[in-house]
Structure 1
Amino acid sequence: MDNPLIEFRDVTKRFGSLTVLEKVNLKIYEGEVTTIIGLSGGGKSVLLKHIIGLLQPDEGTILFRGQSLDRMSKRERYDALGRMSYMFQDNALFDSMTVYDNVALPLRETTKLKKAEIDRRVMARIEQTELSEAMFKYPSELSGGMQKRAALARALVIDPQIVLFDEPTSGQDPVRKNAILSMIAQYQRKFGFTAILVSHEIPDVYFISNRILALYNRTIVFQGTVEELEDFNHPFKDEVLRSLEGLQQELTGLRSKRQFKIQYHASLKGSALGESFTIVIFTLEGLDAVATNLGYDAAQKAIYSAGRVIDKHFGPIGGFSTRINSQEFVTMLPYSDRAEADAIMMDFIQDFQKEGIRDLQAEAGGKLGLGECVEMIVLAGQAQGNLLEQVESVIESARSQQKEIGRIQCAAQE
């Protein structure tokens, strides 16, 4: 792996007699989404403020591109930290300013750019975050989702290399939490900045993060990929990840990936080595278009609806399902051979084309401009496996056999 963009070495922070961080070691890599998870009040925001330079450690070293911050000159330190933006937990928009003025504020306060150049940069970010119609409105006139977009536009207007998000989903309902994280992930891909999030609620963390850091009992107990986190055995999982299990079901109506693995092994335990099972994979193509044109809430509601449709059909016959990334669902049918699975899928496709498409279309509906249309394509594929095969290879085989089973179109409205 490349050298880290940011590195903590034995960082300790105390406030009086209270130790908040103790010998913290971590690495954050450029161009990735890194999520710091942990319990509320566990020191995540304190850690974030060390990254941006608002706090300095009592012990230990913080490195930026391999150089210690405390050994840099004032100018070098400014150059290192000056390309960071911070998106506050409550957005921190100024109520007396319009969206335009809120977004322009960092350029007006920290640069000597001329008015025309400031206007160009502000308008570019406002258009890119779909806020053109709201730029002369005040924060109190905006929905919660639009306020988040305004705060993000302000964070991005200085063309940051790094954006830090402090509890970006705090106080939101489950669908909104997922929508905000999807928005962050989409803009991170669009602009290429390094994103660092902190959260104690962990909604949808499996789908947007390249790396996870787990802060527990004042120190980092895990850092690695999402896949490595699933197999990590530590007491913090009982306390921290329990919320993820519940949220995953609330958001999609399905089991989490961890629960899926547990049930997969339990279902096949004691089976003969030749006993077969079938994996079905579903893909929702076009979710980004739904999010862009109809809003992130609509995209998340469509995901939830898809989860319900899948579970409603396969659950009663012994199947169990999970969402494995932002647009894919996997269902396992234990003890089923190909002929049985083919019959089950035929029934599902018929039901889906009669009722499922209508349900998803209702969830993904919204008002569009004349001439516009948002379309989602639903693909499905299946493959048979047995205990001698890794479930991941069966999933990949099912993915390679996907075919279109339906289209959801939202026609333009007056």
Structure 2
Amino acid sequence: MTTPLIEMKDVVKSFGRHHILRGASLTIEKGEVTTVIGKSGEGKSVLLKHIIGLMEPDSGQILFEGKEFKTMKKAERKQLRSRFSYVFQNTALFDSMTVYENVALPLKEKGELSKKEIAERVATRMDQLDLHEIGNKFPSQLSGGMKKRVALARALVTNPEIVLFDEPTTGLDPIRKNAVHSMISDYQKKFGFTAIVVSHEIPDVFFISQKVAMLDEGQILIQGAPQDIQQSKDPIVQGFLRGMEANHDALTGLGTPTQLERRFEQEMELQKQQESNFSLMVFTVENLEEINDKVGHVAGQTMVKNFAAWLQQHLRPNDTCSRYGMAKILAVLPNTTRKDAQKVCSKLARAARGEKITDAELYPGFCFSVSAGFAEATDDSPIDTVLAAAESRENMLYAFRITK
């Protein structure tokens, strides 16, 4: 069993009579996105500050690669902190500095690189995050989403191993919220850092996280894969998730994953009672990372939104359609055999030809590539089994290539 990158054991923290953390235990694995959820005022930001070493616990342990933080010497602590970066809730950009100066600041403060080396490092990060054209602008001239990207560039310019995101989507509209989530996911894969995210954005954060932990009453009530949290029978967990769940997906206007799963279960009951058929259809944007890289995450999420609207218009009135991931949409088709689902898919593929998906400035060779698969639900199979069948090679038969 590998040693976790970061481990909190029974951490307690109080401010006077106000108890914030009451024995919180959490493990962070290297190279993963871990998201901490929970009600406002539960101490999620305090937990982050303990992880980065800005606060020390009243009792309990915080270990990094198996070594307790409080036993480290001053030089060790300094070296450890150099492995972290922090993306603040309000971006914390300096208004008197240009974008370039904001991004370069951590390198200048370290004083380890020459002016030329700093310029090269900053230029590389700004180019990777598509900020190369705004280096001379000031934060007051930028949109909220662009400020978030500058803050991320500043966090990544030191080549950190661990990046902490404190409510990174606060104050953004649905497209830009999802663009930030997409950025975190894409850049985590690209640069390989470990991400720790504090967020209220449910279910969106489930799409980008390998692990989710819920903080409640000062303790980590549950931690595990997103599906483990969503399927938990704990009444506190379920009550929190229901309270946070919207009536529809904010980006696409489609249903939520929970709503689709309920519809799936309803159709499964009808199948048993009336021997009716139903099928599951899955649509996956195959080149979303390429689109994000070429024209930006906001444009990429706008295309997902536009495709979802087009799909909803072209599916049948009784079909239930929900967003099921950053680049995935699922549809439950009642009274539909596999053969019927194939006909629906074929009809959609024909209708997609020549469809306009974006007003963004496109790049040479652009296409919006969507794969589509389908499977008939049988034998009381759970949704994960039917989805796996729909995504199998034998059923993933269609590709929509929208080129303008």
Do the two structures share a fold, i.e. TM-score over 0.5? yes
2:387 aligns with 395
Matched, 1:39 2:39: yes
Give the superposition deviation at 1:220. Answer: 0.7
2:403 aligns with 409
DSSP 3-state at the match of 2:14: strand
1:88-128 CA distances to partner (integer Å, 9 max, x unpaired)? 11111111111111111111112332212222211221111
Matched, 1:306 2:307: yes
Give the superposition deviation at 1:248. Answer: 5.0
Q: Which of residues 358, 372, 376 is equivalent to 1:380? A: 372
1:29 aligns with 29
Greater Cα shift, 319-328 or 67-76: 319-328
2:145 aligns with 145
Distance 1:327 1:85 in 2: 28
Give the superposition deviation at 1:323. Answer: 2.5
1:25-49 CA distances to partner (integer Å, 9 max, x unpaired)? 1101100001111112221111101
CA distance change for structure 1 residues 315 and 45 in 2, over 3 Å: closer, same or farther? farther
Greater Cα shift, 389-398 or 37-46: 389-398
Identity of aligned residues (%): 42
Distance 1:211 1:292 in 2: 25
Distance 2:269 2:203 in 1: 31
Distance 2:307 2:196 in 1: 30
Distance 1:309 1:353 in 2: 12
Matched, 1:207 2:207: yes
Distance 2:90 2:270 in 1: 52
Distance 2:197 2:248 in 1: 19
Distance 1:120 1:6 in 2: 32
Alignment length (residue pairs): 401
Distance 2:78 2:103 in 1: 22
2:345 aligns with 345
Contact 1:293 1:374 in 2 (8 A): no
2:108 aligns with 108
In the TM superposition, 1:53-202 aligns within 5 A as 53-202=53-202
Contact 2:37 2:213 in 1 (8 A): yes
Distance 2:342 2:60 in 1: 60
Greater Cα shift, 340-349 or 10-19: 340-349
Letter in 2 for 1:207: F
Matched, 1:367 2:361: yes
Contact 1:201 1:243 in 2 (8 A): no
1:131-189 CA distances to partner (integer Å, 9 max, x unpaired)? 11111211112222221111111111111110001110001112211111111111111
Letter in 2 for 1:115: K
Letter in 2 for 1:220: I
1:288 aligns with 289
Distance 1:7 1:343 in 2: 52
Distance 2:379 2:148 in 1: 47
Contact 1:204 1:248 in 2 (8 A): no
- Root mean square deviation, CA, Å: 2.1
DSSP 3-state at the match of 1:246: coil
Contact 2:346 2:398 in 1 (8 A): no
Distance 1:308 1:245 in 2: 21
Distance 2:166 2:341 in 1: 46
Contact 1:4 1:66 in 2 (8 A): yes
1:325-360 CA distances to partner (integer Å, 9 max, x unpaired)? 222222122332234334433443444447xx23xx
Distance 2:336 2:351 in 1: 20
CA distance change for structure 1 residues 247 and 121 in 2, over 3 Å: closer, same or farther? farther
Matched, 1:230 2:230: yes
Give the superposition deviation at 1:275. Answer: 4.5
Contact 1:98 1:138 in 2 (8 A): yes
Structure 1 residues without counterparts, runs of 5 or longer: none
Contact 2:279 2:334 in 1 (8 A): yes
1:363-396 CA distances to partner (integer Å, 9 max, x unpaired)? x32125xx63432112222222313434323222
Contact 1:253 1:311 in 2 (8 A): no
1:254-293 CA distances to partner (integer Å, 9 max, x unpaired)? 2222222222112221533865321211122222232223
Contact 2:162 2:193 in 1 (8 A): yes
Query: More helix by proportion, 1 or 2?
Result: 1
Greater Cα shift, 138-147 or 274-283: 274-283
Structure 2 residues without counterparts, runs of 5 or longer: none
1:269-327 CA distances to partner (integer Å, 9 max, x unpaired)? 153386532121112222223222322222222222222333334351x2222223222
Contact 2:257 2:322 in 1 (8 A): yes
Distance 1:190 1:346 in 2: 35
Distance 2:105 2:382 in 1: 54
Letter in 2 for 1:190: K
User: What is the TM-score when the length of structure 1 is the normalising length?
Assistant: 0.90
